[in-house]
Structure 1
Amino acid sequence: MYQSNIYEYLENLREEKLLLCKDDKESIQIRDVAQLLGFDTFVLPDIRVNVGEDLRAYTEDLQLFFAQLSAYHASDRKKILISPVRTVLLPFPKPEFFRKKVLEFGDTVDLNALKDTLYQWGYHFTDIAASRGEVSFRGDIIDIFPIDAEKPYRISLFDDEIESIQHYDEATQKRFEEELDTVAFTPAFLALDKEQYEALKNRVERSRYDTFVKDIDSLGLWHLEDLGQSALEQFPAVWASNLDEELKEIYELGEPLIPRKDFLLPSVPESDRYRDLEVVEPNKLLEVHKNKKITVIARNESIVRGSELSSFENIEFVYQDGIVNIMGDDRLVISLNKPLKKKRVKKATIILDELKPGDYVVHENHGVGIFKGIEKRDVLGATSEFVVIFYQNEDSLLIPVSSLEVIDRYVAEGGALPVLDRLGKASFKKLKGKVREKLFAIASQIINLSAQRHLKKGIRMKIDREEHTLFMSKAGFLHTEDQERAINDMLDDMSSGRMMDRLLSADVGFGKTEVAMNGMFVAVRNGYQAMMIAPTTLLSSQHYKSLKERFYDYGFKVAKLDRFSTTKEKNAILKGLAEGSIDVVVGTHALLKAKFKNLALVIIDEEHKFGVKQKEALKEMSIDVHLLSMSATPIPRSLNMALSEVKSFSEILTPPTERQGVRTFVKSYDDKVIKEAILREMRRGGQIFYVFNSIAGIDEKKKQLLEILPKLRVAVLHSKISAKETEDEMLKFEDGEYDVLLSTSIVESGIHMPHANTMIVDGADNFGIADLHQLRGRVGRGGREGYCYFMVTDKDRLTENAKKRLIALESHSDLGSGAVLAFHDLEIRGGGNIIGEAQSGHIKQIGYSLYLRMLEDAIKELSGQDKEVAHNIDMKLSIDAYLNEELIEEDRLRLELYRRLSLCETTGEVYEIEAEIADRFGKLDTITRQFIDVMVMKVLAKEQGISKVSSYGENVFIEFREEGKERVVLKSNSKDDDDIIATAMGYLKGKQ
């Protein structure tokens, strides 16, 4: 597509138009030109959906679609609408259904009427409004996240009058200080009244299209009837570029929405006044064309200052986003902007531990039990809440909510189920002692190794920054901020004269290899050798391809050593390494016996997958060279902190710019759906992962697939097949010899398969949400959109919770709230990998979280980091103190807050959570405020070596940990709650 054609066309345009183009990339090029020419510009997303498909998988795109159309209809300036051609196959709602509702400070609100409106407008009612299109009503607080808003709004009422309107942060749920006068929101679907909504709902329920749940989110847009019309009836349209290929594909799919005659639209003519430019050196261009009218586009003034442009009289600077480079007889337009980078993926912070009744938990003194829920109990005339945990023989343990730090969710590798412990038996204590010994051995190994490295002088590398910047620019893509940070940190290490020992954690396909190659480049440029070792032949051959391409221009000698190398090749490579004629080598453990002439950098990929002996050999090899270890599993935050004393650490959380989301569909199992999903992928030349988690039935499943599609080429993999055969089959799959890889859930995690972009999970209801999210992450890794189908055997037998989980995955194709749990699980699992040899026996018995906590303690203790030994403080004041359910109705939210409060280390943290509760749920009542006081006293008591604070009648007792220290008895004015609190608090604060 040529921007010059668009420029001339829009320069002379005097009316509103819909410009049709190929995809998102072209829409952005057109948008940049239109904005430069002063148009109010609205861009629709590229929605490649088939008629009748479940639209829930396109939630975010549709919200953007509605928001842009709504803004377009509301604008009364000179405006233009831009759309990729596949998007106009959707029915377009009529303009009258994009009304807005405005609420102002001081307005009186009829709550029931507002709820009805929001319901008919397609908003989802939830207990936390954290995603667009959600609303939450809590007493006198309304949280709403309109689909066209950057941040959600919190509206506080006094009775039925609006007292304040503020934005809040959807991740932390805290409000921003600035008060607003109004909030305006568009519908999340369409501005329907009750009759229209009911009529649409009926049409959807009778729909002939098959979706997991028949509701307006899934199918509403396909049944608009009188509420919508085709885009080409609604807007005068033109072709903005050549779309022959796209149209051919659309006709072949037989889309019923667009009759062929509608496609006889005018096209944007070729420009005879302007042509497109490639701008390499702006100053030279300006010098040659200095007599023309010159426009320079830049995001801000500092970009202009940084580019050191020559100054001429006739330059006009336009400060805005976008890139336009064109030239005519009397005009020159150039842009100093770089393409925008992707935002970091936000980790959701608010509900990590969604403990549900029935989940396994670990108590640090009593072991594994089952969480039963929260209960209120009266003890000594005062009411408190307790968490109830069941052990063997249905013995139950009550834990006061002020001491929740002693329990954790139980997670073990691959979802293994634990054995319940028995209350009051010393066996758990013994087990913990055993694990602690083992952990001390591991921790001391990590620390000794690190100490040996720290004592040695590192190989100091010289870095030519200019040459290095050039090397980075040849990567063929824009580096994300995280990648740049990881590369710069690594180069600082290598040039510091110290030994580098860095751990790099990033998801597959997020660019770890690129970081490693920057280190290799520096090593070879300094006259040294570099080696990279991976656990499997497949991974090493993938790295080898990347290295050869990347170093081709520099004439580096790159070699690969693995079980496919012939004896002759092996000998030649080993000789080359010893003589120094090979610069970079990549391979599997075959490399461990190699001798090098001057090795300076060792890179280990997925270290945890090597065996014990191989690890020992790796340690020997890397003792006096720079070391970079790479891992595709996230490292838990806290462990990362403990390790930071001994290793340096980098993390890449941003997906690469070209990485797309994964459309997720939940479907009832049906041969037709399977056939369509496989053919859809094969039509675009791709491959399919088919996950079927039963080794016994996997051959039968292959037969079924071949009955549906007889010509399908299917590879079968599972854990009973040998490692060598698995690897050979994977290599064949990578080379395109198979269409479908049918396997159990062992789809190898560290592998980059850019051609496999559809994933079908058979029996998805039997997987945990974390596993499903993990599996889904295997596709959509090239620049192509991934498709993931979760097939459910019998949807009528699913529990409500399982349904909700699957629908959450369907609506959140990003790593959003549907993935919070997955992140948490993964984060916990990632810890096991650093430690090396799978401690699976111990982890299975005590769960990952307790295991990690003990490992952190061991590392801290051995590396001399100040470690306050955690002592639990017994708070037994006979006062009513808990988070009142009249204030916070949802059990899971109360539980999460109890948990966070029990982990507070300072009184400041407690007061911060108090402010957050007031902010999210309204003014604290007496019982809740008294609970906050108890938590403050607990922190103060901990600081002062106190073990127990209790009361009986008017007496308050303070007991100390130190033996022989007498307990203090205080007398309060009365038995009233506030007097007892004042007495205890007065003593604790006075002691400070």
Structure 2
Amino acid sequence: MSITPLLSWFGALPGFAGLDAGRPLGLPRAARALAAAALWRERRVAVVYVTASVDASRQAADAIRTLLGSGVSERLALIRLVEPNTSFYDSVAPVADVLSQRAAALARLNASTRGGSELPLIVSSPRALMHPTLGAGEFAGDLRLIRRDMTLALDAMLASWVQAGYESAPVVDRVGTFSRRGGILDVWSPANEQPCRIELFGDQVESIRTFDPGTQRSAEFIERIAVTPLDLPAPSRAPAMLLDHLPGDGLILLDDVAEVMSAWQELEEKAARERALMEETGEAAEAAARLQPFVTATALQARLTHRAGAVIALGGGSGVDGSTNESLQPIAEGFGAAPHFGGKLQPAIDFLKARGSAPTLVVSRQASRLSALWAEHRPGATAHTDIESLPEHGALFVTGALPGGFQHGSGLTLLTDTEIFGYARPDTFTAGRARKAAPEKGFSDWKPGDAVVHEDYGIGLFRGMVKLTVNTGTAVEPVEGERAYLLLEYADGDRLFVPLHHLDRLARYVGGEDLQPTLTRLSGPEWQAAKTKAKGAAADVARELLTLYAAREVAPGHAFAEDSTWQRALESSFPYVETDDQLAAIEAVKADMRSDRPMDRLICGDVGFGKTEVALRAAFKAVQDGKQVAVLVPTTVLAQQHYNTFKRRLAAFPVGIEMLSRFRTPAEKARVLERMRGGDVDIVIGTHGLVAERAQFADLGLLVIDEEQRFGLTAKEKLKKLKVGVDVLTLTATPIPRTLHLGLSGVREISLIETPPAERLPIISYVGPFEDAVLQQAIQRELDRDGQVFVVHNRIATLHLLEQKVRRLAPDARIASAHGQMPERALSRIMQAFSDGDTDILVSTNIVESGLDIPNANTIIIDQADHFGLAELYQLRGRVGRSSTQAYAYFFHDRRAQLTEDARERLNTLREAAGIGAGYMIAMRDLELRGAGDLLGPKQSGHVSSVGLDLYTRLLAHEVKTLRAMRDGGPLPVEASKPITIDLPISVELPDRYVGGENLRLQLYRRVASLDDEAAVVAFEEELADRFGKLPLSALNLTYQARLKIAAGAFGAQSITTDGNRIVIRADAIERIPRLKLERLLGEDAIIGRRQVTYSRSGTPEQWKARLMAIVRALGEMSAAAPAAP
């Protein structure tokens, strides 16, 4: 997408070539980003463009990239300087992602100062710019350039990296980390888009390659890298700022001088209030000693004055020196406001017709729809993604997004979504696409003491990794070697050493909320009995699911039409960028609706991840086919939230939307019910009253159920009747285990939305004893930015005491209290007032645990946090952080009480796992159990607990496949065979010196145990060599063992072991292979039994290993060719 001709048009306007930096230009807002892009492209210097707010900086960056599009040359780099996600007087530094993004901006500016190839345009808000940076001299002093063939002082260099803010890590998958592994050095500098891998020969740099942080595989060779410091200025140093790094020929653009300076001063006043609050609580001295200062408005003014000749004020009003703009500069003459149509398309079409042949450029996310409408009046009109020139006459439609349009005296008119639809939707590039995690991240960390399930031996405790000495020589000439094992502890202190090739038989135990499972006795029959019972229960569930699936297959349903122009218009008007998961869920729902059988799909995703938008698009699709839609929610507050969302999103379309809840009077309810029966209501949103007998529809086509598990048994029974013959879409925020999701494939339609929306920030978590001062600071910080606060307490009896304390600490705030024993109507009004923003602080019990979606509430304070379970704490923390605003969660415990070990671990886990999606690491065990229970029914919970969720879901998946094969007449799935035992005289491990970090080694061991074909083993070997260097012998033996396991598995071998100097292969398939073939294969010294063969191990280790591999593969081929067993 490119609209570069608009830049050329602007550059040709009178006065552009001779802009006077001494006085403001006087441009309207819609033309300022255009001016910035044109100046950057024309002058080819580094530029810093300062807007008056965070939102304005985002819009400006979006607009500039849209304007330049594919026209951005390799020398131009557009960067939006991100704001720190902390307050001025926080005791913690901004999160690593924020620091790295800010450091990237400094790196680009410094590179341009040194004559680098890129010329950055950095867009910033006052909040981002006033946060101090390293000084230019400090930055240059800490910068390290590394070139190929260079000799490094490694230890000193790595120490300097740590001093510059870098962190040593086992895997480099984020900016600001490095990892040293023998002759391999990985590092990710903010100056680079991707991390780099330095291969060393001694201390000399042999090669430098970029690599993919997701696959960890190398990409292209490069000649040099710049390792720049992270943006961590020392508290004692005078504050520097980003403008100090701008080259001498650089340009500073101010969107509007007065607005920028006013916003800056307001932020200073906010900082002063924070400081005053700290002084009141006696923390000022501590703050002064530890905290960084900020750049004041006075310091900014001094810098602008110093560079006055390179500062351009794009707006009107005063200039940098305070002079006023009495007359427009020539460049601003001719600009006027474009008309606004507020989503009404006919007036917009009439405007275009009235303009006749006058040139009009329409830049819209809905360019295709608009051009189709215009084609009815001007045949041949189409939408473009790139244009080579502006229209000379008539209207030209371009797909894109700009913040606003204008009319110009030259005759050109620019219309955007702002004028046509009343909003400015960001383009897709604003979404920070989550990078793919490193390959072993799918294998969660196991800590000593964690309960794990061995498929063959039952539930034990993981006690760590151990190495045992083995003889890798012969009986005559023994040679000591090492082999790695996992140590598990079972009941009665029994121990099990699990070889590496059996790690695919292990899974973390998930089975009971915060309950330690009963350990299995290795010598007892309990485990096999538990597995048998669980398998039978899984078969029952599989039969029930298949019966329901079969019934849906033959039930008559309505096949909805393909997407209409209106459908595309609605979807184009979504003011956010859809995640890939969300788009996949939307497409799956549409495919179900187009089918002539009733849909029954479950959409699973966290609050704020976009489930409502999926439901809304489905509802609109149903309405266009003349069908009615019922949206059923568990609470009055949620009904109101959904009602507001549907009304707002569908305002431009003739859709009748109503709500049935306790907020409606009896007369209003009666009117809505009557209109439902008459077909005058298209979409009705309500609580359990929607399933009452008197609630009848003229032609119900779609039922949307939000959190069905929260409805009572009576409501669920009525829902069953309502579901007959209609499409059903169920939404839930309770996670469904991915293994269960895959296991139910084909019998239960489930869509998972796991990707957080763009620009979602990690929640900053604080854990500590309850203190009035910290409570007051947390509340005041949120109120100062016009936000709202949740304060949660664990007991109704003492809730009023906490409310009194909050009122004393925040006397000017609007405060309400709520708990579950209040009258329903009173509780709903309180919750609604908080949702509407009429209350600043809500003091409540954990009734806010789930459901509420209030983007303006971004601080939650949980008192007595040690009395809540991990899942509860995670869900409570999830009430905040559902927008681009930085969110905070405070977990307080009683300073006088002694924390239990479990409580301390829960709170520490929450503090450590603060990233987006950290819930998977910290609480998914508990939450997935709930999700599994909701999906499978409460009867299955005992069986899940007895064998663990992972094994139960595998049993269920097998039973589903079996029953489907029996129904369809297909081949039955093969029963999972017992694991093969491989015990050979070889060292098998990844040495510590080769792969550092026990967790990383364990994750790699689990990965290699799960490999199932030769290509996967080869790829794994290549990855190891790429990431860690040449494979040592014990690592090659690890992958050799994986190959042997795969080859032996092809004919169901039970074991491959040694007996002295002989190799023994046991397999039932051997008896089906002709003896003559075996003798030819194994040689004269072979002993051939009914189900085993034995032959001499001779030659070097490499020779006998190669022969063994050839024999095992040949046995597989012979077994496949042999007649099947009777």
TM-score range, shorter chain: 0.7 to 0.9
Letter paired with 2:977:
H
Decide which of 865, 869, 874 is 2:975's aligned counterpart. 869
In 1, Cα distance between equivalents of 2:394 and 2:592? 48
In 2, Cα distance between equivalents of 1:110 and 1:803? 43
Q: In the alignment, what sits opposite 2:1010?
A: 903
In 1, Cα distance between equivalents of 2:31 and 2:806? 50
Q: In the alignment, what sits opposite 1:72?
A: 109
1:286-685 mapped onto 2 (5 Å cutoff): 304=384, 312=392, 325=405, 328-330=408-410, 332=412, 339-341=426-428, 342-346=431-435, 348=437, 349-351=439-441, 352-378=443-469, 383-412=482-511, 414-463=513-562, 465-477=564-576, 479-562=578-661, 573-574=672-673, 576-592=675-691, 593=693, 594-611=695-712, 614-656=715-757, 662-665=763-766, 669-685=770-786
Decide which of 255, 274, 278 is 1:240's aligned counterpart. 255
1:208-223 mapped onto 2 (5 Å cutoff): 220-223=233-236
Q: In the alignment, what sits opposite 1:253?
A: 270
Which has the larger displacement, 229-238 or 79-88?
229-238
In 2, Cα distance between equivalents of 1:538 and 1:830? 23
Quickly say closer, same or farther: Cα 1:616–1:7, change in 2 above 3 A.
closer
Letter paired with 2:986:
D
Quickly say closer, same or farther: Cα 1:159–1:797, change in 2 above 3 A.
farther
Quickly say closer, same or farther: Cα 1:61–1:953, change in 2 above 3 A.
same
In 2, Cα distance between equivalents of 1:709 and 1:465? 53
In 2, Cα distance between equivalents of 1:159 and 1:60? 33
In 2, Cα distance between equivalents of 1:869 and 1:161? 54
**Equivalent pair of 1:601/1:627 in contact (CA under 8 Å):** yes
Q: In the alignment, what sits opposite 1:938?
A: 1045
Distance apart, 1:502 and its partner CA: 2.3
- Counting matched residue pairs gives 959
In 2, Cα distance between equivalents of 1:811 and 1:318? 47
Decide which of 30, 51, 54 is 1:21's aligned counterpart. 51
Q: In the alignment, what sits opposite 1:207?
A: none
In 1, Cα distance between equivalents of 2:906 and 2:179? 19
SS at match of 1:629: strand
Which has the larger displacement, 138-147 or 344-353?
344-353
Q: In the alignment, what sits opposite 1:974?
A: 1098
Distance apart, 1:371 and its partner CA: 0.9
Distance apart, 1:53 and its partner CA: 1.6
Distance apart, 1:268 and its partner CA: 4.3
Q: In the alignment, what sits opposite 2:850?
A: 749
Distance apart, 1:758 and its partner CA: 0.8
Provide Cα deviations, 1:595-635, integer angstroms capped at 9, x if missing partner. Answer: 43322212222233345554444334323222222222343
SS at match of 2:725: coil
Give the TM-score, by structure 2 length: 0.75
SS at match of 1:56: coil
Provide Cα deviations, 1:189-209, integer angstroms capped at 9, x if missing partner. Answer: 4xxxxxxxxxxxxxxxxxxxx
Decide which of 45, 48, 64 is 2:82's aligned counterpart. 45
Distance apart, 1:52 and its partner CA: 3.0
SS at match of 2:1035: helix
Report percent identity of matched pairs. Answer: 30
Provide Cα deviations, 1:162-192, integer angstroms capped at 9, x if missing partner. Answer: 232222222232223x222222221124xxx
**Equivalent pair of 2:1063/2:1097 in contact (CA under 8 Å):** no
Asked if 1:787 is matched to 2:880, the reply is no
Q: In the alignment, what sits opposite 1:273?
A: 333
Provide Cα deviations, 1:634-692, integer angstroms capped at 9, x if missing partner. Answer: 43333323323123443434444575554445666532121011122223443222345
In 2, Cα distance between equivalents of 1:950 and 1:11? 74
Quickly say closer, same or farther: Cα 1:497–1:275, change in 2 above 3 A.
same
In 2, Cα distance between equivalents of 1:702 and 1:433? 53
In 1, Cα distance between equivalents of 2:862 and 2:1043? 49
Letter paired with 1:151:
Q
Gap runs ≥5 in structure 2: 1-27, 273-292, 306-312, 317-327, 342-347, 368-381, 418-424, 473-480, 1073-1089, 1118-1126
In 2, Cα distance between equivalents of 1:131 and 1:252? 35
SS at match of 1:502: strand
Quickly say closer, same or farther: Cα 1:320–1:106, change in 2 above 3 A.
farther
**Equivalent pair of 2:539/2:959 in contact (CA under 8 Å):** yes
1:128-277 mapped onto 2 (5 Å cutoff): 128-176=171-219, 178-189=220-231, 220-225=233-238, 228-229=239-240, 239-241=254-256, 242-243=259-260, 246-247=263-264, 249-255=266-272, 257=294, 261=298, 268-270=314-316, 271=328, 272-275=332-335
Quickly say closer, same or farther: Cα 1:467–1:90, change in 2 above 3 A.
closer
Distance apart, 1:133 and its partner CA: 0.2
**Equivalent pair of 1:482/1:651 in contact (CA under 8 Å):** yes
Provide Cα deviations, 1:202-245, integer angstroms capped at 9, x if missing partner. Answer: xxxxxxxxxxxxxxx6xx543323xx436688889775222476
Q: In the alignment, what sits opposite 2:324?
A: none
Asked if 1:89 is matched to 2:125, the reply is no
SS at match of 1:183: strand
In 2, Cα distance between equivalents of 1:955 and 1:741? 75
Letter paired with 1:367:
G
**Equivalent pair of 2:1051/2:1069 in contact (CA under 8 Å):** no
Letter paired with 1:222:
P
**Equivalent pair of 2:426/2:576 in contact (CA under 8 Å):** no
SS at match of 2:984: coil
**Equivalent pair of 1:370/1:390 in contact (CA under 8 Å):** yes
Distance apart, 1:146 and its partner CA: 0.8
Which has the larger displacement, 643-652 or 567-576?
567-576
Q: In the alignment, what sits opposite 1:206?
A: none
Give the TM-score, by structure 1 length: 0.84
**Equivalent pair of 2:1017/2:1039 in contact (CA under 8 Å):** yes
In 2, Cα distance between equivalents of 1:368 and 1:329? 79
Which has the larger displacement, 600-609 or 584-593?
584-593
Q: In the alignment, what sits opposite 2:1123?
A: none
**Equivalent pair of 1:580/1:597 in contact (CA under 8 Å):** yes
Which has the larger displacement, 733-742 or 871-880?
733-742
Letter paired with 2:112:
S
Quickly say closer, same or farther: Cα 1:164–1:537, change in 2 above 3 A.
same
SS at match of 1:879: coil
Provide Cα deviations, 1:387-428, integer angstroms capped at 9, x if missing partner. Answer: 111223322222222111222112346433323333322233
Which has the larger displacement, 33-42 or 476-485?
33-42
Question: What is the RMSD of the two structures over their aligned residues, measured on CA atoms?
Answer: 4.6
Quickly say closer, same or farther: Cα 1:406–1:283, change in 2 above 3 A.
farther
SS at match of 1:109: coil
Distance apart, 1:144 and its partner CA: 0.5
Quickly say closer, same or farther: Cα 1:113–1:948, change in 2 above 3 A.
same
Distance apart, 1:955 and its partner CA: 2.1
Distance apart, 1:436 and its partner CA: 2.8
Distance apart, 1:500 and its partner CA: 2.2
Quickly say closer, same or farther: Cα 1:58–1:273, change in 2 above 3 A.
farther
Quickly say closer, same or farther: Cα 1:620–1:487, change in 2 above 3 A.
same
